[in-house]
Every structure is written in structure tokens, then in C-alpha cells.
Structure 1
Amino acid sequence: MPAEQRARPFALLRIERQRRVVVAVNRAAAAMGISPGHSLADARALEPGLEVAEATPDTDSALLGRIADWARRYSPCTAVDEPDGVVIDITGCAHLFGGEGALAADLTGRLRAAGFAARAAIAATPTAAWGIVRFADAEERRRERLDGLPLAALRLQAETVEALHALGLRRIGDLHAMPRAGLAARFGEKLLQRYDQAFGRLDEPISPRRPVPAFRERLSFAEPIATPESIAGALRHLLRRLCAGLEAAGQGARRLRLDAHCIDQRVDDEPQGLTLGTSRPARDPAVLARLFAPLLERIEPGPGLETLTLAATETEPLGAIQIGMDGEGADGGLVELVDRLVLRLGDRAVLRLVPRESWLPERCVAPLPPGQPVPAPKPWPAGRPRPLRLLTPPEPVEAIAPLPDDPPLQFLWRGVRHRVRRADGPERIECEWWRPEGSLGLAVRDYYRVEDGDGRRFWLFRAGLYRPGENPRWFLHGFLG
């Protein structure tokens, strides 16, 4: 919003009980005595030139979500506090910013520079922080004084606050001397719940906007870094710390995420993120650094990076690894090669074939990404030779064969005629009636193993049952060596 427009009284409205009610005002409107809860008529009576617009709760909620995601630079545990706040659990994080006061000053400074009117309070409990930031002055926000705050600072319903006022109770400190049983009987358990949460007697867990990884490392820089060498060095440092934690817990990483925060990152911008998946649990910092190396080229440091965070978002148990004389695991080179191919070609381009229980030749194996667990093996039919190479789909051929069940005497495939010297069959395969799309539209197949005069062996089948007066259809499905 331009500066000249911010200087004019402005309010957001919504419809409540068939009335247009003020839900938010800027500083100019507040100076005129207009506040949330006024009807539009009352607000215009105070300031006829008041500019108004309809409130957009969905847009506001989305913006709060982006701010909560941006605030993950201070802590991985952030949550939206509707309708106008964000709650951040900074336990164990404040020292990274020079203390609680420095963290709060950095947070509000960045938000104000982005054009937001922001206030911050740090308290021992979420309820206390909610009340202090909304009802205390700057000095009280620093010292966390609750007793002198109004009862509305406990996040109580307006009806409850008015009923307490009727009894002469106006401050949180007034509740200390009141009997709990009497308060609960008259005002319900919600009052005592909020009271106990404010003073830490009752737990008030925060539901993070995003799951907090169990294994996460963060690195801040006194001076922004921008060169590929410095970024790679910082990543290696993070990997060593992260893998040490994984080893202590007996875990290995299956998916890692690196977030890079630029010094010019806007509040509503996502940090630059890189995601790395592995085909097996891994915790070797050198191997993971080599896998990350080609991905680091995607980071655009701009004027510089001020923070890097590395998290293992998916982990699996990983015990001690037997290494060889060269320091590598028994199949470490193969695993790293597979991971490199996946990074370069995509997870859909690197597959392995595993047996699948099906009589249909085209369905008896299934492609599986390397990162997925292999199902229990299903044995192929014993005594039923299958070709090593199949044609997909089977190719039609012209065959001459006695009827109804004899093998072909000769067949024409791709313009070349093959005379059959030896043959074996038929082997009848019915379609899977519950999966008609998997049967190539052919209900019954009679397969034959045939060998031509040059020793080449083919796998042919006749489609459908024999019917007098109809020419049978023949297909070549594979090669037997």
C-alpha cells in the first residue's frame, strides 16, 4: 500500500447479522476512534472520509501461512494463530540469534521492513505470549507481567469476560484469590484451563504447520556466503553433524532437505530448497555430499546466504555397516551409482524388475523404483520355460498350421518366412478374468515353443479357441535364446 494511502483512514469490513462490521483498521482510522466491532454507520459517523474494503479471510489465512513458513528461519516449530498471529516455539533456538531479545528484534524488524505492523512477545507459555503481545505495553512485553493484564488476555469469550467484570474481577491477578471450585461452577472449566495454561500449570502443545524433523541441523553465518565452495563446505559441515546424530540413534536417512535462506528473502517467499532421496538408508557424510554436489548448482545465492538448514525428513533403522579394506561398504559403490542415476534421470527412469504372481507373461514381472522395499518373492511356474525377451505388445504373424491344436508348420514375421523344424505345445493360458485390461483383449492363448531351420527359437501363440470357418490369429510373443 502506498504511503499516501496508508495515511488515510482505512478499515476492513465483514457482514455479521446483516450488518457490515469493522474487523480491522489502520493507524489513521484508529486515531479517529474507529476500532474493530464498530458498525460501518458508526465508523462513518466518526470519520465520513473512511475508506473501506471487504475483508478476505482466506487470503489473510494464506498470508499467515506464508509468514509462518518464513518464520521457520527462527525455529522449525511454527504455527498459524488465527486470525492475526503466528506462534513460534523458540525453545533451544534463541542463543543462535544472540538471545531472546535479539531474536524478537530481528523478527519484528524484518516484518516491519516488509511493510507489516508487527509486535512480538516472548513468554513461557503460548497463552501468556498471546495475551502479552495484544494487551501489554512494550516494557511489559519484555518482562512478562501477567497479573496486571485484563482478563481478555486469557483468550476468553466476551460473555465470560463481561460476567467476570460484573463480579468486580478485571485483571488476571484478581483470579488468584478466588476459589477454583466456585469459578468452575459458575464459568465452566474453560476459564480455569486458560488460567492454568497461562501460568504453565497445564500443557498447551503447539501443532506445527509442518512436521518437525527429528534430525535437523542449522548453520548461520556471521557474513553471508555466496561462492559454490563456501556453500559446499557449509553443507559438508551440516552433513557431518546430522550423520553423527543419525548414527547415535541407529537411523539412516532416506530423504534429506536442504533449505537456503538469502539475506534478501521476502517474508512471503519460500526458502530455496533441495531434496535428496536415497535408495537405501544412508548416513555417510562423504557419500551424501557427493550426491548433493550436482544439486547445489540450483541454489541462487544472490547477495548471499545467511542460513542453511539440513533435515532428514524420512529415516529408517540402520545398524552397524561392515566396511571393506577400501573403507566402502560391501555394495556401497552400487548404491551410490543407483542414487546418482536417479538424481540425473529421475526416479521413474531407474527401475528394477521383480517377480509378480501372474500367469500372463507380460504381467509376471513388475518394475519397481530402487527406493521401494522388495515384496516377498513369488516363484514362477515350475517346469514352464519362459523367454528371456518379450515383445511388447506381441506382434501378429501369418502362420500355417493344422487344426485344431497342432503347432504351426511355418510363419511369416516382418517379411521373413520361418519353417518350423521342432515344436512343443500347446500350453494354454486363460486371461485373468478380473483384469481384462491385462489380457491384451485375448481371452485364451495357446502357446508353442518352436525352432526354425536355422536353430532360432520362438514363442508363438494362437489367440482364441478354434472355431470352424474362422481363420485363427497368431502372434509372436518372445524369443527363447
Structure 2
Amino acid sequence: MEGKRRIVALWLPHWPIERLGRDLERQARPLRVPEKPRVLARPGPGGMRITARNRLAQAAGIHPGQLVSDATALCPGLELHAADSEGDRKGLDRLASWCGRYTPWTTADPDGIGEEPDGILLDITGCDHLFGGEMALIAELRRRLQGFGLTARAAVSSTTGAAWALARFGERPLLVLPAGEEADALRSLPVAALRLDDAAVNGLIRLGLKKAGDLYGKPRAPITARFGPGVARRLDEALGFEPEPISPDLPHVPYRASLAFSEGLTRSAHIEEALKRIAADLCEVLERERQGARRLELQLFRVDGEVTRMQAGTGIASHDASHLSRLFREKLAQIGDDFDTGFGIEAITLACLAVDPLRPEQETLDNERTRAQDLEQFVDRLSNRLGAGRVMRLEPRASHIPERAVAAVPALRGITPAMRGWTAHAKEHMASVLGGSLPRPLRLLSSPEPVDVIAEVPEGPPRVFRWRRIAHQIARAEGPERIAPEWWREGKHRTRDYYRVEDVEGRRFWLYRDGLYHRDNEGPRWYLHGVFE
């Protein structure tokens, strides 16, 4: 039986209609929209039918499933709006994201009483002490939701099923159920509290099984044969005999730090100061665990329930609080006056979405390590300011073809194992130069450009070549450096003979002849591949 996990089931009984009223309030600011009998409707059998109602419409005798024509006859001043199922789902997802200020494990509850989801599940295991206990946590949660104009009920239990049932069918709007008391708490609740569909509920009631406790100890084979395995499974989940984890669609967060404020922050300077503090708290944990952040997410929780997210990354693992906080400060500065704090920021969270282990390194006497860190931090700032795909670094590839010997990759990808081979790559290149091979230019064209060449002999070096309508008379030439094609690549790839040439004006170029006269059916062609500085 589950005893360690603690689940909060939050129920919003009037969610669709109260979400609409909340949106109308925002549109009419600073004026307050007066409360009216309000309903939502969508096409159904026989015409438009009511899907949701507010309290005034309920008092007028309007109920879900009723025809709009009958509802307007009962209440002539009824305010009618079209139901928006997709908007309700997205709004509930945003509200579940806002609940992340209490625990990272939050998700919209897929099991609503009606056709649409109307609740949120929170796994508060190990989090309640940060808010003064479980009752204090759900009391604060309900108070804030009421401030948003939403009606809310909440229950805490060791199982999701028990919390769901008590939030919707319990006598009290706020309830904390001690671990191990799920069976007693569910005994007197209707079978609908087990999250069964209408067909199963009606069938069980016809058999005289009206309460959840009526199912205790009953043979399961006849019930399963008649209603399927869902009844027994839901009962086991509610009692804790079958696990039911909460699995929000969120990335793994190995490290996370949060900071809440008694009053909402509205000034950028105050938000930046809070960012420094929370970054220092997070980096203290990272340093103790010998980990470094690679990708981070900053969440700003507004007083009105909106959540602003920002992400930043680093090229190499870092637990430098000043550097990490500066990355987000620059993002806030880029937004400038367009950054909307609403009525203030009441809490912020800084989470590490990806970390790498850090090995202790000894700094050299000439401070070389510090200069390398400064360069990496500069690259991080540029990448986060301009975009991860706009700041690149070169990564070596196992190829002798010059245009395939390196590849441009985002700088925030970090130092890959291939990049650690640059030293060996440079040594190999120098060995080839000392062994008689020709040095290559540092500057290559984006793609080799064809040139017209005149040579004294077919296999000899060029004497004159024309590039971009300008003729160059060759004074000196070195070569060839032969590069054979890679046999495993498909397509037409021919042997290249590279020459280093210098014209009469002292300009130096890197040319190659693509193909051999005595091997290839098509005649060789000449290309200019690079220019020496």
C-alpha cells in the first residue's frame, strides 16, 4: 500500500464558465464586469444545449444538457456564450503550470465529472513543509484560486483515486486524509467517486451497489465479466493496491531552486536581484554535488496566475552564479518595456534541465584557465543573446576532403569528444607539412569555384588561370597534393590534385584538378578552393 506519496486533487467545479468570466474581466479592465446569469452551449441533439452554468444561472433552474430555448424561457436575461473545449483545456494546462510554484509534479486531471477535464493533480511529496504543512498548502492554493475568481475544492491523500473522490464528493472543501485511511474515507461515497463511466455507475446501482464500500470484499470475477476490468482497477488505485503515478509532460529536473515573495515584484531591478540570490542558492548545491549546469529554465510566477518562462544554455558545464544569472538578466533586458509583470511576480523558480559532472581542475600560474573560462562565458552570452543557431564553432570530422574535414555546430552544444581531437588533428597536419605535403590556407571558399586553366602538360601545374573574369599569370607553383575519394560515399567523387600557386603580383591561391586524364571518362576540371592570406 502506498504510504509515502502525498497527492493533492484540486477540483474546479465551475471551471469553464468561471474561466470565461475571468477572461471577460481582463478585457474590461479597469472596470469590473457585473455578474449575470451566464451559460455555455454547443450543438447537441435537438439543438443548442447547455454545457456549463454559473451560480446565478443555477439558481434560475438551468442545468447542463438543457436546450437553450428552454433555458432562455426560464431566464430571459440569460447571457449565452459558445463552449470552447480547446480553450478550456489550454487554460487548465496553464493553471496547472502555475501550480508548479508548489511542486514540479503537476498536471491537468484527465478525469472530469463531465465531458471536459475540470481538475488538477499535484504530487506534493516532500514539498508541503515548505508551505507550513499539507493543510496550509491547500488552504493557500484555494485562497489564491479564489482570488482568480475560481471556485476550488482540494483534498490530500496517499492515492490519486482517494484524493479525487474526496475533492468531488467529500463533505468539506478542504480535507487532508492521513495515510492508511483511504478505505474508511471512501466507504460511504457513491460508486461514481471511483472515476467510473456512466454506464458502469448505472449498472452497479441497478445491482444495489450504490456505495464504494459495497464493493469491498465482493467477488471480482462476476463484476469483471459484466463491467470489464475497469471497476476493480479503479478500486485498487483508490485504495492504494495498484500504483498510479502522476506523469506530467515535463523534462527531467535534477536540480531546482525556488524563491517566494510576500509582495509581488514589479521593478526589473528587484527581479534581477532575486535572480542573483536564487542562482547563488542553486549553484551552491551544484558545487556541492560537483555538477555544472548546461541548460536552465527560469519561471516567473505572476500574481494573476500567468507564468513566464525563459531558457538559457551554456557551452560547458558551469556553477558560476554570476555568469548564470547574467544570462537571464540579458534576456530580461532584451525584452525591455515589453516585459509584462502584471500585478507583480510573487515567486520565481530556477531549474537545471541538463547538467554535466565537473572534475576538479588546477589553474595554471599564468591564469590560462581563467582566460579559457572568460572566452566560454563570452560565447554563452553571445549565443543566448543572438540565438543558439547563430553562434557556431567548428568540429573536426574524419575526412581528408577539405570541405568535409570540419562541420559548424552550435557553440552551446559544448566541447564534444570530436572537438577534443583538435590537438591530434593539428599535429597530424603539421606532420604532413614537415613530411613534404603542402600547407593549406586558413580561408576556404564556401564552395569550390570553377576556373579556366592553361597548363604546359596535362598532368602538370597550371601556368595561367582565369577566376571571376580576371586572368592570373602563375609565377610559382607547388604540388600536387593528391587526395583520393572516399570509397564508401555514393555519387561521383574523383581524385583531386591540389596545387599551391602564386601569381606575378604575389597573390597565393589553392587550386585543384578534379579527376585524372588516364582514369576518368570525363575530362578533369579545375577549381579554386581557397586563398592564402
TM-score of the pair, normalised by structure 2: 0.73
Counterpart of 1:408, as a letter, is P
Q: Could you say what secondary structure the match of 1:404 adopts?
A: coil
Equivalent of 1:169, from 203, 209, 212? 209
Distance 2:38 2:265 in 1: 43
Distance 2:527 2:373 in 1: 44
Q: 1:72 corresponds to which residue?
A: 100
Instruction: After TM superposition, give the deviation of residue 430 of structure 1 in Å.
Output: 5.4
Equivalent of 1:255, from 295, 303, 308? 295
Distance of aligned partners of 1:417 and 1:167 in 2 relative to their CA distance in 1, 3 Å threshold: closer
Q: 1:425 corresponds to which residue?
A: 480
Task: Spell out, residue by residue over 1:12-53, the C-alpha distance to the aligned partner (whole angstroms, 9 max, x if none).
Answer: 23546x8865443333443354433x4638955984857766
Task: Spell out, residue by residue over 1:155-201, the C-alpha distance to the aligned partner (whole angstroms, 9 max, x if none).
Answer: 11223222332343322233345456665566554323222322333
Distance 2:251 2:525 in 1: 58
Q: 1:119 corresponds to which residue?
A: 153
Q: 2:120 corresponds to which residue?
A: 86
Q: 1:219 corresponds to which residue?
A: 259
Distance of aligned partners of 1:57 and 1:303 in 2 relative to their CA distance in 1, 3 Å threshold: closer
Counterpart of 2:509, as a letter, is F
Sequence identity percentage: 41
Give yes or no for contact 1:11–1:52 (8 Å, CA) kept in 2. yes
Q: 1:244 corresponds to which residue?
A: 284
Q: Could you say what secondary structure the match of 2:156 adopts?
A: coil
Task: Spell out, residue by residue over 1:223-259, the C-alpha distance to the aligned partner (whole angstroms, 9 max, x if none).
Answer: 3334555434432332233223334444321111111
Instruction: After TM superposition, give the deviation of residue 345 of structure 1 in Å.
Output: 4.0
Distance of aligned partners of 1:146 and 1:285 in 2 relative to their CA distance in 1, 3 Å threshold: same
Equivalent of 1:391, from 439, 445, 451? 445
Counterpart of 1:162, as a letter, is N
Distance of aligned partners of 1:219 and 1:247 in 2 relative to their CA distance in 1, 3 Å threshold: same
Distance of aligned partners of 1:190 and 1:473 in 2 relative to their CA distance in 1, 3 Å threshold: closer
Q: 1:478 corresponds to which residue?
A: 530
Q: 1:128 corresponds to which residue?
A: 162
Task: Spell out, residue by residue over 1:125-161, the C-alpha distance to the aligned partner (whole angstroms, 9 max, x if none).
Answer: 2212222222233367466943332110111122322
Distance of aligned partners of 1:124 and 1:19 in 2 relative to their CA distance in 1, 3 Å threshold: farther
Gaps of 5+ in 1: none
Q: Could you say what secondary structure the match of 1:213 adopts?
A: coil
Distance 1:365 1:293 in 2: 34
Q: 1:334 corresponds to which residue?
A: 375
Instruction: After TM superposition, give the deviation of residue 87 of structure 1 in Å.
Output: 1.5
Residues 71-470 of structure 1 correspond to what in structure 2 (within 5 A)? 71-82=99-110, 83-138=117-172, 141=175, 145-176=185-216, 178=218, 187-211=227-251, 213-263=253-303, 265=304, 267=305, 269=306, 271-297=307-333, 298=335, 301=341, 303-323=343-363, 331-372=372-413, 373-376=415-418, 377=421, 384-385=437-438, 386-395=440-449, 397-412=451-466, 415=470, 417-425=472-480, 427=482, 446-453=497-504, 457-462=508-513
Q: Could you say what secondary structure the match of 1:122 adopts?
A: strand
Distance of aligned partners of 1:435 and 1:163 in 2 relative to their CA distance in 1, 3 Å threshold: same
Q: Could you say what secondary structure the match of 1:59 adopts?
A: helix
Distance of aligned partners of 1:420 and 1:396 in 2 relative to their CA distance in 1, 3 Å threshold: farther
Distance 2:214 2:200 in 1: 15
Which stretch shifts more, 38-47 or 187-196? 38-47
Counterpart of 1:280, as a letter, is I
Q: 2:113 corresponds to which residue?
A: none
Distance 2:81 2:340 in 1: 38
Give yes or no for contact 2:453–2:465 (8 Å, CA) kept in 1. yes
Distance 1:41 1:302 in 2: 37
Give yes or no for contact 2:464–2:471 (8 Å, CA) kept in 1. no
Which stretch shifts more, 57-66 or 176-185? 176-185
Instruction: After TM superposition, give the deviation of residue 419 of structure 1 in Å.
Output: 3.3
Distance of aligned partners of 1:202 and 1:97 in 2 relative to their CA distance in 1, 3 Å threshold: same
Instruction: After TM superposition, give the deviation of residue 64 of structure 1 in Å.
Output: 1.7
Counterpart of 1:125, as a letter, is T
Q: 1:63 corresponds to which residue?
A: 91
Distance of aligned partners of 1:231 and 1:177 in 2 relative to their CA distance in 1, 3 Å threshold: same
Counterpart of 1:13, as a letter, is R
Distance of aligned partners of 1:171 and 1:365 in 2 relative to their CA distance in 1, 3 Å threshold: same
Distance 2:364 2:328 in 1: 24
Determine which structure has greater relative contact order: mean sequence separation of CA pairs < 8 Å that are 6+ residues apart, divided by chain length. 2
Distance 1:147 1:72 in 2: 32
Give yes or no for contact 2:451–2:527 (8 Å, CA) kept in 1. yes
Distance of aligned partners of 1:420 and 1:367 in 2 relative to their CA distance in 1, 3 Å threshold: same
Distance 1:430 1:326 in 2: 45
RMSD: 4.0
Q: Could you say what secondary structure the match of 1:371 adopts?
A: helix
Distance 2:83 2:302 in 1: 32
Distance of aligned partners of 1:398 and 1:24 in 2 relative to their CA distance in 1, 3 Å threshold: same
Counterpart of 1:374, as a letter, is T
TM-score of the pair, normalised by structure 1: 0.80
Distance of aligned partners of 1:243 and 1:26 in 2 relative to their CA distance in 1, 3 Å threshold: same
Q: Could you say what secondary structure the match of 2:104 adopts?
A: coil
Distance 1:239 1:126 in 2: 34
Give yes or no for contact 2:39–2:51 (8 Å, CA) kept in 1. no
Give yes or no for contact 1:443–1:463 (8 Å, CA) kept in 2. yes
Task: Spell out, residue by residue over 1:249-297, the C-alpha distance to the aligned partner (whole angstroms, 9 max, x if none).
Answer: 443211111112233x3x4x3x233322111122233443344443343
Give yes or no for contact 1:77–1:212 (8 Å, CA) kept in 2. no
Distance of aligned partners of 1:326 and 1:218 in 2 relative to their CA distance in 1, 3 Å threshold: farther
Q: Could you say what secondary structure the match of 2:411 adopts?
A: coil
| 1:10 corresponds to 2:39 | yes
Distance of aligned partners of 1:328 and 1:111 in 2 relative to their CA distance in 1, 3 Å threshold: farther
Distance of aligned partners of 1:152 and 1:321 in 2 relative to their CA distance in 1, 3 Å threshold: farther
Instruction: After TM superposition, give the deviation of residue 306 of structure 1 in Å.
Output: 1.5
Distance of aligned partners of 1:303 and 1:152 in 2 relative to their CA distance in 1, 3 Å threshold: closer
Distance 1:402 1:289 in 2: 65
